[in-house]
């Protein structure tokens, strides 16, 4: 499974592509950041993010796009821009028929470090280890994007089993 | 000046087109709502909003798109969806080179009713009067979209004068 992880943001949108299946060593394919100038108009920044995400989708052809689920509770000053950048990433994927998966920051931290309350350094260290990199990806948004992709690869089997169980239960209900 | 007003929302995105200049009677060209099903996946809802906004831009060719400025402070339960829908509207406009203007809810209310704290009924009543309609547009999101367009037509001359003054001041600074 090839997953593009997106850590959404207007100024820096982290993007990382990971190949792998649960239980096997993972492979980093690419990592980077889509940047937009803070002094540009909001509409133009969203267009720049769209162009950046489109390039990543064209180049790496992911099967799934995993985006951080944005909450309105935390970090009020930047949350609107984060929500808007995430909307563009989801739009680009859905327009191509690529499934979009959302994972919360604590799900991502728990997946790669074992603790939903791990700090950025810990996430960066585990991403480095799990992908067998020489050093932590910089900036932190890039590492977070890779962590999102890893989180999705590891959580997907459980999510699929759950969906299959729900579907089975629903079909049994219909034939009863 | 032809303005498309957008009152962003995932379930109902109000859209309204108004022709006019400050100080002259205004003309409503069209009003409506772009709807997406609440049980659809978020990515698919954003694609549906994009298609709806694109149709309105194709049909009515506005010179400006006026979008409600979303704040994270109020209405926490729906604000993320509102931010995401507004991102799609801004993206569609900016991609075509159409200027995007943001107005706060209180700016819009103050423009059409004289009070930044007017309720929805008051806004609907004034939109009906200013556009000489037989009855208030329904749902309220559609009326709010028209109010946004009216607000922009009336505020634009002042905003342009301010921008010209700033530009003039900057150019004087350079030649000093």
A79 touching chain B per CB within 8 A = yes
Element spanning A141, H or E: helix A140-175
Contacts of B102 in chain A (CB under 8 A): 42
Task: Give the pLDDT confidence of A93-144 residue by residue, as tens digits.
Answer: 999 999 999 999 999 999 999 999 999 999 999 999 999 999 999 898 999 9
- Residue B68 designated active-site: yes
Of B84, B85, B94, nearest to A43 by CB-CB distance is B94
- What's the rounded mean pLDDT across residues B71-87? 80
State residue A93's pLDDT score.
Answer: 98
Q: Does B92 touch chain A (CB under 8 A)?
A: no
Residue B43 and residue A94: Cβ atoms within 8 Å? yes
Does residue B50 sit at the A interface (CB-CB below 8 Å)?
Answer: yes
pLDDT value of residue A153: 96
| pLDDT tens per residue across span B138-172 | 898 999 999 999 999 998 777 767 666 776 776 66
Tell me the domain boundaries of chain B: 2-175
Q: Indicate the average pLDDT of chain A.
A: 91
* Residue pair A62/A50 in contact by the 8 Å Cβ criterion: no
Q: How far is B130 from chain A (nearest CA, A)?
A: 29
Test the B interface: residue of A4, A41, A43, A48 with most B CBs within 10 Å: A43
Token match 């889509």: residue? Answer: A34
Measured at the CA of B48, the angle between CA B47 and CA B52, to 5 degrees, comes to 120
Q: Is the Cβ–Cβ distance between A96 and A80 less than 8 Å?
A: no
- Residue B7 annotated among the catalytic residues of the structure: yes
Is B7 annotated as contributing to ligand binding? yes
Q: If you classify domain A2-175 with CATH, what class do you get?
A: alpha beta
Q: Residue B115: phi, psi to the nearest 5?
A: -130, 130
């Amino acid at each position: 499974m090839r997953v593009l992880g997106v850590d959404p943001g207007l100024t820096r949108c982290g993007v990382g592509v990971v190949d792998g299946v649960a239980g096997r060593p993972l492979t980093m394919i690419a990592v980077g950041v889509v940047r937009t100038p803070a002094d540009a108009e909001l509409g133009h920044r969203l267009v720049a993010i769209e162009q950046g995400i489109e390039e990543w989708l064209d180049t790496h052809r992911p099967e799934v796009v995993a985006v951080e689920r944005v909450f309105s509770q935390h970090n009020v000053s930047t949350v609107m821009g984060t929500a808007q950048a995430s909307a563009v990433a989801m739009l680009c994927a859905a327009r191509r028929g690529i499934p979009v998966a959302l994972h919360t920051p604590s799900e991502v931290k728990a997946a790669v470090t074992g603790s939903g309350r791990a700090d950025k350094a810990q996430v960066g260290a585990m991403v480095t280890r799990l992908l067998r990199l020489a050093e932590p990806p910089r900036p932190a948004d890039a590492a977070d994007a890779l962590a999102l992709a890893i989180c999705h690869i590891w959580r997907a089997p459980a999510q699929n089993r759950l969906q299959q169980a729900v579907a089975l239960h629903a079909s049994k209900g219909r034939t009863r």
